[in-house]
Amino acid sequence: GENVEQHPSTLSVQEGDSAVIKCTYSDSASNYFPWYKQELGKRPQLIIDIRSNVGEKKDQRIAVTLNKTAKHFSLHITETQPEDSAVYFCAAAAGNKLTFGGGTRVLVKP
Amino acid sequence: EAGVVQSPRYKIIEKKQPVAFWCNPISGHNTLYWYRQNLGQGPELLIRYENEEAVDDSQLPKDRFSAERLKGVDSTLKIQPAELGDSAVYLCASSLVRSSYNEQFFGPGTRLTVL
Q: CA of B36: which chain A residue's CA is closest?
A: A100
Whether B48 and A42 lie within 8 Å, measured CB to CB: no
Q: CB pairs below 8 Å between A and B: how many?
A: 55
**What pLDDT is stored for residue B88 in this prediction?**
97
Q: CA of A87: which chain B residue's CA is closest?
A: B40
Closest CA–CA distance from residue B82 to any residue of chain A (Å): 23
> Degrees (nearest 5) of the Cα angle B92, A82, A104?
50
**What pLDDT is stored for residue B96 in this prediction?**
86
Partners of residue A35 in chain B, C-beta under 8 Å? none
Model confidence over A24-78: pLDDT tens digits?
999 999 999 999 999 998 999 999 999 888 899 999 999 999 999 999 999 999 9
- C-beta atoms surrounding A29 within 10 Å: 11
Strands B65-68 and B53-56 turn out to be unpaired
Whether A100 and B31 lie within 8 Å, measured CB to CB: no
Partners of residue B106 in chain A, C-beta under 8 Å? 36, 43-45
Of B4, B41, B45, the CB nearest to A98: B45
Residues of B at the A interface (Cβ-Cβ below 8 Å)?
Answer: 4, 31, 33, 40-45, 48, 50, 56, 91, 95, 97, 100-109
Separation CA B32–CA B48 (nearest Å): 6
Of B31, B45, B103, the CB nearest to A49: B103
Of A31, A46, A101, the CB nearest to B42: A101
Q: How confident is the model at residue B72 (pLDDT cuts 50, 70, 90)?
A: confident
Model confidence over B32-49: pLDDT tens digits?
999 999 998 999 999 999
**What pLDDT is stored for residue A36 in this prediction?**
96
**What pLDDT is stored for residue A53 in this prediction?**
83
B99 class by beta-carbon count within 10 Å (0-12 exposed, 13-18 middle, 19+ buried): exposed
**What pLDDT is stored for residue A74 in this prediction?**
98
Strands B19-24 and B53-56 turn out to be unpaired
Q: Is pLDDT at B98 greater than 70 in this prediction?
A: no
**What pLDDT is stored for residue B84 in this prediction?**
96
What is the rounded average pLDDT for all residues in chain B?
Answer: 92
Distance of CA B19 to the CA centre of its chain: 12
